[in-house]
Amino acid sequence: MIIIEYSPSALEDLQQLIEYLTIQHSENTAKKILKQITSDISRLEIFPLSGASLSKMIDAPTDYYYIFTEKNFVFYRTSLNSVRIIRILNEKQNYLIHLFKDSVHDTE
């Protein structure tokens, strides 16, 4: 069975997203969006390769995949028994800088 693992950076991304949505909208909105994001991530347990390959988007070799949910990119890597969520970044962020700046720390 495939398990979902979250990197420390991904957990921090989720926390920041919740705080932002609560301030900008409401706690109910934040909970609703978080529920949708985590539901979409959960589907990766069954279909780990259902996301798009990041290498096709950036035209460079990488083992990252991504899904897009609730205006956020969820970047992940797969292994035989797990899907590791690396970062969860808003569509307005320069996700390539954030993703590859932190990727060295998130492979442990």
pLDDT digits (tens, 9 = 90+) for 25-78: 999 999 999 999 999 999 999 999 999 999 888 888 889 999 999 999 999 999
- Report the predicted TM-score, pTM, of the whole model to 2 decimal places: 0.86
Domains located in the chain, CATH noted: 3-107 (3.30.2310.20)
- Around Cβ 29, how many Cβ atoms within 10 Å? 12
Q: Shortest CA distance to 25 belongs to which of 17, 37, 14?
A: 17
Distance CA 18, CA 101 (A): 23
Distance CA 4, CA 16 (A): 20
